[in-house]
Chain A
Amino acid sequence: MVGASAGATGSLPRLARLPETGPSAPRVAPPALLEAAVVTHGLIAPEYWRLVLDAPAIARTVEPGQFAMLTVARGEESWPVLPRPMAIYGWDRAGGRIEIVYRVVGEGTRRLTRWSCGDRIVTVGPLGRGFVLLPAAQRIVLLGRGIGTCSLTALAGVAAARGIAVHALVSARHSDALVGGEAYRAAGAVEVREVVDTDGSSGVGPVGAWLAENCRTGVDQIYACGSDRLLRLALEMARATGTGVQVSLEAHMACGLGFCHGCATGHPGLVEESPLVCRDGPVFRHLPSAPVA
């Protein structure tokens, strides 16, 4: 989940909130507002930056799939007006640090690159309802494309630590844009498959075949972020095999807390507003019986 860019979400299938209670409910702690000091900040690949913040109040309770709002305006500046929602890539609870990997896609993220060590960024988090690992899960598949993979990396670590076999697909336009593979390997994923558009390996055919092979041998849940195409593949597989799918959505946001209603997911019905990405998500579940658009 990263808010700087978002494709039209109107054509996405109907998705539901994760449960409020029980073993499949995400853990949600109240968010904190803090001025987080920049610990490390630098380019890790063309267009991709890694930012480590000293943010103990966030690091203490953050769960995989949650995000933080980072104010882009500096000092007393009153614009850029909108803060940027950023997936939390990883964290160090004891050290009180959170890690964010973002891609420069526009003016906001370009300005974000100018923060240097010791600067303090107004940060709110952890926000949203993150991914859930089912209690009996033994094997999961993670499907991430581009910067979308950054929502999934933390999940791999938590899953592997619980003895769950993690199979991760990292998709990108070209090899320079592959992010997250290292994090997956460090987390202990049993398989990390990196695919790119330039050699055709990221196409629906090869990726679909890989996913089908994985699902044939038993997958407890599929997690997706960053690509409508990957999500559609996951949903097809879900319909065929009954495997549950959780997806993290992205949207432009203003408050991140749920009161501005700026991040509704799609075309709403006549009366009921569609779910908000910040408050109801960013992670939603797909019910295998729900119709696929």
Chain B
Amino acid sequence: MSTPPPDLSIELGSLALRNPIMPASGCFGPELGDVVDLERLGAMVTKTVFAEPRSGNPAHRLAETYAGMLNSVGIPSRGAEAFIAELLPRYRTWSPPLIVSIGGLTIAAYLEIAARLAGVAGIAAFEVNVSCPNLEAGGLEIGAVPEVVEAVVRGVVERVDVPVIVKLTPNVTSIAAIARAAEAGGATAITAVNALMGMAIDGRTRRTRTGTPTAGFTGPAIKPVALRCVWQVAQAVAIPVIGVGGIATVDDVLEFLLAGASAVQVGSATFTRPDTMLRIVTALETRLADDGVASVRDLIGALEPGPSAHDLMPAQAG
């Protein structure tokens, strides 16, 4: 008797994906299509687009750390018009839904980029990157203040007619409170989490190893933090959660699904091996079939209460 292959499809509000695997913003671009088949992805996510061009940070922008990496790329963007004219047509070569990440340095700047990209063909959803410094609040991250997040999300939702996903920063006191603000603002889904704020110093030169003193910390090292954030967000809101942070294997994906994620993003692991996302899609199908799980949706938030039996101390014999 043959069983049908497991169903990998998931939904983020009105956005239907054939599988839950997509890239993390900043770790993906049409150039990846030169070496891997992007048709097999659940969705595509762009690097963050700003309304106006910006140059990004000075060199060095990258540093390797224990089980992770730091980046101080600083989100260079060629602006909305160059994105529409040059980058968007390249993405449209592939069929998975395109999620366009947008950013700004003031609340008004988010509304501006949303307005400029609203109604543009080929954009399936927006992901609002609220991990940018708020120039109106002394550089405090936009995503650190619930009221600001709610205002940004509400303003973007009012201006566009596709689902709005909000990507949260982990560098906050209560990510649950920020997630509730995003939901109140009308978000369709929440992505958790962006890079942790990190730092690396070269003891010999007595200088930081990146061009800006602090940098975004990503990679396998941040997975436990990201997993905790996803779980807390999933407890706090009713909308779907997209998990991201240190995901490199199918086991990582299963953990994020159990914690409450409906989909996942792969970031730094695409640098390690450009075909990581495709390896995961293949492995996920195999794993679900092996485990007799009919649909990936059966795993979302299916975390059992209490710790794994393997973690319990053995009973002391008399």
- A167 touches B (CB below 8 Å): no
- B63 touches A (CB below 8 Å): yes
- B56 touches A (CB below 8 Å): yes
- B92 touches A (CB below 8 Å): no
Would you call the interface of chain A mostly helix, strand, loop, or mixed?
loop
- A73 touches B (CB below 8 Å): yes
Q: Is the CB of B273 within 8 A of A81?
A: no
Binds A, one of B47-55, B113-121, B175-183: B47-55
- A197 touches B (CB below 8 Å): no
* Cβ–Cβ < 8 Å partners of B61 in chain A: 252, 261-264
Q: Is the CB of A259 within 8 A of B32?
A: yes
**A32-B35, A78-B249, A82-B69 known; A268+B26 contact, CB < 8 A:** no
- B29 touches A (CB below 8 Å): yes
- The tally of residues in A whose CB lies under 8 Å from a CB in B reads 46
Q: Within the assembled complex, what's the spacing in Å between the Cα atoms of A107 and B67? A: 12
Interface size for chain B: under 10, 10 to 19, 20 to 34, or 35 or more residues?
A: 35 or more
Q: Within the assembled complex, what's the spacing in Å between the Cα atoms of A154 and B34? A: 25
Binds A, one of B122-130, B159-167, B264-272: B264-272
* Cβ–Cβ < 8 Å partners of A122 in chain B: 273-274
- A9 touches B (CB below 8 Å): yes
Instruction: Provide the A6-37 mask, 1 if CB < 8 A to any CB of B, else 0.
Output: 10111000000000000000000011110000
Q: Within the assembled complex, what's the spacing in Å between the Cα atoms of A80 and B248? A: 12
Q: Which residues from 85 to 140 on chain A have a C-beta closer than 8 Å to any C-beta of chain B?
A: 106-108, 122, 124
Q: Which residues from 266 to 292 on chain A have a C-beta closer than 8 Å to any C-beta of chain B?
A: 266-274, 279
Instruction: Provide the A229-261 mask, 1 if CB < 8 A to any CB of B, else 0.
Output: 000000000000000000000011111011111
> Chain B's nearest CB lies how many Å from the CB of A228?
13
Q: Is the CB of A71 within 8 A of B76?
A: no
> Chain A's nearest CB lies how many Å from the CB of B38?
12
In the complex, residue of chain B having the shortest beta-carbon distance to the beta carbon of A84: B64
**A81-B69, A259-B29 known; A270+B34 contact, CB < 8 A:** no
Q: Is the CB of B71 within 8 A of A81?
A: no
> Chain A's nearest CB lies how many Å from the CB of B191?
18
* Cβ–Cβ < 8 Å partners of B26 in chain A: 260
In the complex, residue of chain A having the shortest beta-carbon distance to the beta carbon of B46: A259
- B143 touches A (CB below 8 Å): no
Q: Within the assembled complex, what's the spacing in Å between the Cα atoms of A6 and B26? A: 23
Q: Within the assembled complex, what's the spacing in Å between the Cα atoms of A257 and B273? A: 12
Binding site for A on B (CB under 8 A): 26-32, 34-36, 47, 53-64, 67-69, 71, 73, 76, 218-221, 248-249, 268-275
* 23 pairs of residues in contact across A and B, judged by CB atoms under 8 Å: A10-B59, A32-B35, A71-B272, A78-B67, A78-B249, A78-B269, A79-B219, A80-B272, A81-B271, A82-B62, A83-B271, A107-B64, A251-B59, A252-B61, A254-B27, A258-B29, A261-B61, A262-B62, A268-B76, A269-B55, A271-B53, A272-B55, A273-B55
